């Protein structure tokens, strides 16, 4: 199918051609004709980088009533960065349309400028949930004329704690409208929104969700949490030609890891939600031109990156939703190329790795973090290969006689050693006497029960599976009440009636204070620090258990003795 066969008008086709689009992507091929001809709600599931913005942006532009200057479409996105990107894309699609106004509203920018733009009249509003609610409360953004609601990256919005915000916004829109939900995954909360706010939606899914790419190899390393950065360095060093993305959980961690890599002389940089559009474009241009070998990014910031030549995807932290692992690993191994997806796991993530294996129906192979000797050999061979493949400059001939005089007293082997040492001493000195970072998975079983990772505090919360609490709900709850989206979160254990979670100890007081009066799904939340039992309590419990066992055993023996005596008397 060509774009000319989708039903788009001349102006939009002209924009598409000028942007260099030749044929629709699979999601565009199905969604564009559907939205142009149908009024029924839509749930579209597709991986990142599949052209979702064009799939809803183009038909909405065609159906907008230009003469009406009040908002007819509201598009919600999880982050400021994605909001700006969607706005930029839709404006580019509307290049040859007259009097179409598109306004982006998001936090971290001057709200008065956004208010002024809305008052001048906009048919399409793209916004983040928090800023949209703020403008609704100020009675500047009015949604009574809305005909189309788009939830872009719905799963990510829920993961970031916007559930209540989405409920507020959606309940403020007219009952008669077309709702479009675009998501990479379909967790229960996204399903709930589709049931509560959509009417018999059509479902379009362009690829199986639980399927890993055939040409991607999956490996994992098992290290202590404190050694994860050193493991990352060794992975980069053993792969001198690496060209990949390192995924972190939070913006703060993304910045920290990228800064460390740059300080250690790696060609790396960060991509996260705190960057301006100009900064993002600068980083992405450097990465596309391979001036950067490693891009450290959050999942949300990396959405929309479409590069076919990536050699590696490295999971510095595993995502909370296992399906996100598929979308991460799917960024490598594209366009017929082979790719590698790596996990730097710590000792408590064995179960999660097995769950991912089951989901992608592939084995995740345990690899050993390379030793210093292995890295030095790999880097040395790269250096020698570079020397062999370097084109000889003819002007060097003029200096050969003098060079030979200087080297005359050295043997061939000594010349090679001197030459290699000039370029290679940094690696040799760094990895001299390097330690083994690998740990066995069994060590996770030996970990003392109730102990949090070093630097983390362990909390008890009175919600569990019976309350329909899931991992992303708990993260959303923390984000919502603390108003902090960069708090490092450790292990989460969702049990039947209650749960445990780990938070960076620096945020201990904030968690206890902010969640003191929290509510979730009409349940009053109770959060307290969870401490492992003291040695004295353990001893008392053991003695108590032994006493009960001994007493019960004695009663059983006495009963048998009495029975034996009775039988002996009767025989006599």
Q: Is the pLDDT of residue 551 over 70?
A: no
257, part of any domain: yes
Chain segment 184-219, per-residue pLDDT in tens? 777 777 788 888 888 889 999 875 544 455 688 999
Give the closest residue to 344 by CA, choosing from 382, 370, 374: 370
121 and 161 co-located in one domain: yes
Phi-psi region of 540 (alpha: psi -120 to 50; beta: other; left: phi over 0): alpha
Phi-psi region of 265 (alpha: psi -120 to 50; beta: other; left: phi over 0): left
CA quadruple 93, 46, 28, 201: dihedral, nearest 10: -100
Residues 123 and 178 in one domain: yes
Q: Where are the alpha helices (DSSP H) in 239-349?
A: 251-263, 277-288, 299-302, 322-329
Task: Tell me: do 276 and 180 sit in the same domain.
Answer: no
pLDDT in tens, 409-427: 888 888 888 877 776 777 6
Residues 499 and 522 both lie in one domain: yes
Count of CB atoms situated within 10 Å of the CB of 454: 9
One domain, residues 53 and 184: yes
Burial of 122 (0-12, 13-18, 19+ CB in 10 A): buried
Same domain for 323 and 380? no
Alpha-carbon Rg for the chain in angstroms:
30
* Same domain as 377, residue 367: no
Q: Is the pLDDT of residue 449 over 60?
A: no
pTM: predicted TM-score of the whole model, two decimal places: 0.51
Which pLDDT score is estimated for 344? Answer: 95
For tokens 């403020």, name the residue. 172
Specify whether 76 is located in the same domain as 115.
Answer: yes
Stronger pLDDT, 282 or 548, i.e. the higher one: 282
Residue 16: give the domain boundaries. 3-205
Same domain, 60 and 175: yes
251-270 pLDDT, tens digit each: 889 999 999 999 988 999 99
Evaluate whether residue 522 is within a structural domain: yes
The answer to whether position 360 is within a domain reads yes
Same domain, 232 and 322: yes
Please state the domain count of the chain: 4
The pLDDT score that the predictor gives to residue 244 is 94
Rounded distance between C-alpha atoms, residue 162 and residue 148, angstroms:
20
61 with 99, same domain?
yes
């Amino acid at each position: 199918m060509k774009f000319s066969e989708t039903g788009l008008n001349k102006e939009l086709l002209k924009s598409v051609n000028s942007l260099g689009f030749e044929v629709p992507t699979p999601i565009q091929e199905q969604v564009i004709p559907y939205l142009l001809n149908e009024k029924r709600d839509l749930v579209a599931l597709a991986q990142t980088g599949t052209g979702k913005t064009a799939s809803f942006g183009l038909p909405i532009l065609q159906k907008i009533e230009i003469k009406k200057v009040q908002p007819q479409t509201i598009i919600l996105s999880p982050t400021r960065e994605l909001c700006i990107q969607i706005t930029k894309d839709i404006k580019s699609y509307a290049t040859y349309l007259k009097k179409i106004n598109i306004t982006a509203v998001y936090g971290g920018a001057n709200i008065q400028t956004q208010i002024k733009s809305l008052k001048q009249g906009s048919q399409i509003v793209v916004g983040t949930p928090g800023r949209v609610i703020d403008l609704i409360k100020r009675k500047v953004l009015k949604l009574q004329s809305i005909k189309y609601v788009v939830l872009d990256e719905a799963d990510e919005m829920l993961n970031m704690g916007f559930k209540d915000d989405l409920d507020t916004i959606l309940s403020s829109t007219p009952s008669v409208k077309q709702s479009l939900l675009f998501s990479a995954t379909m967790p229960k909360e996204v399903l709930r929104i589709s049931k509560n706010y959509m009417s018999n939606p059509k479902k379009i899914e362009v690829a199986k969700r639980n399927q890993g790419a055939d040409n991607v190899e999956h490996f994992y390393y098992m290290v202590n949490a404190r050694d994860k950065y050193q493991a990352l360095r060794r992975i980069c060093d053993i792969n001198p030609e690496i060209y990949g993305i390192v995924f972190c959980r939070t913006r703060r961690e993304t910045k920290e890891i990228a800064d460390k890599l740059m300080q250690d002389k790696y060609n790396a940089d960060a991509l996260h939600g705190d960057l301006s559009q100009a900064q993002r474009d600068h980083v992405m241009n450097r990465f596309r031109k391979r001036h950067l070998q490693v891009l450290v990014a959050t999942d949300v910031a990396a959405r929309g990156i479409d590069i076919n030549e990536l050699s590696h995807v490295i999971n510095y932290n595993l995502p909370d939703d296992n399906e996100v692992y598929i979308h991460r690993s799917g960024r490598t191994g594209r366009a017929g190329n082979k790719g590698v997806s790596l996990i730097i796991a710590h000792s408590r993530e064995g179960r999660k790795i097995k769950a991912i294996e089951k989901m992608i129906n592939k084995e995740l192979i345990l690899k050993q973090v390379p030793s210093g000797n292995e890295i030095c050999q790999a880097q040395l061979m790269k250096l020698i290969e570079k020397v062999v493949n370097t084109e000889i400059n003819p002007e060097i001939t003029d200096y050969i006689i003098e060079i030979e005089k200087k080297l005359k007293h050295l043997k061939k082997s000594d010349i090679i050693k001197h030459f290699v040492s000039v370029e290679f001493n940094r690696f040799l000195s760094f990895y001299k006497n390097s330690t083994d970072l690998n740990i066995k998975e069994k060590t996770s079983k030996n970990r003392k029960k109730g102990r949090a990772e070093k630097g983390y505090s362990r909390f008890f919360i009175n919600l569990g599976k019976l309350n329909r609490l899931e991992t992303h709900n708990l993260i959303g709850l923390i984000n919502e009440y603390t108003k902090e989206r960069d708090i490092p979160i450790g292990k989460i254990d969702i049990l039947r009636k209650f749960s445990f979670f780990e938070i960076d100890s620096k945020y201990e007081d904030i968690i206890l204070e902010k969640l003191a009066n929290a509510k979730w799904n009409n349940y009053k939340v109770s959060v307290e620090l969870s401490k492992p039992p003291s040695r004295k309590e353990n001893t008392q419990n053991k003695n108590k258990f032994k006493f009960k066992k001994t007493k019960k055993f004695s009663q059983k023996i006495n009963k048998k003795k009495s029975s034996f005596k009775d039988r002996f008397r009767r025989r006599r």
